[in-house]
Amino acid sequence: MSETKFSIQEALKYGWETFKAKAGFFIALTVVLGLITAVPDYIIGKLFEQGSVMRFVSELVLRLIGLFLGMITTRISLDLYDTGETDLSKISDLIPQFLPYLGGKILYGLIVLVGLVLLIVPGIIVSYMFLYVGYLIIDRQLGPIEALKESKVVTDGSKMNLFLFSLVIALINIVGVVCLLVGLLVTIPVTLMASVYVYRQLSPRAEVVAAA
């Protein structure tokens, strides 16, 4: 798997073609998820003073909800790539995975933080080495430690390409912001599906690996 590479151009092409095929769905999904996070955040800002306990608790709950929404978008993007369809019934399957996902994200953040504290370069390297912790927990139902180990295998030999890909993704979404934020309705879905394309190039479905 360490020999597996991917094309940034092909990833973006796939993201764009998938968006065009399901533009209505992607725009609706982006708007709904945006409202779910933005509206409560605005209300919290109006109700509670900065630094208050209630403000802290409310924002913590909102971040946890945002984390779960991230799981949902990952599950949806994987299903779209694998089958061309979305199965919203699978969202309930994510509930038991929430704690492993949270643990994986916390471990990932701590590892990257330590790397950045020691030196900038090691922090950047480990950030891409363990990039797919969340994907692997959702995709393969791995625990946090197992997902960290597997992400290291999956990204072996591809860290520089992943770094370049992330720069391109960031630039595309900056363009979306510049276009009066409306552009994000296009750039977010395109980059979401481009990202899952890259993941699947580096980490094929379990049954595909078994068949090979």
In sequence order, which residues have a C-beta less than 8 Å from that of residue 139 and are 6 or more positions away?
78, 199, 203, 205
Q: What pTM value is reported for the model? A: 0.89
Q: What is residue 208's predicted lDDT score, i.e. its pLDDT?
A: 47
Q: What pLDDT was estimated at residue 209?
A: 45
Q: Which residues of the chain have pLDDT under 50?
A: 1-3, 208-212
pLDDT given at position 71: 96
Structure tokens at 95: 């509930």
pLDDT of residue 212: 41
Percent of the chain at pLDDT exceeding 90: 75
Question: How deeply is 103 buried, as exposed, middle or buried, from its count of CB atoms within 10 A (0-12, 13-18, 19+)?
Answer: middle
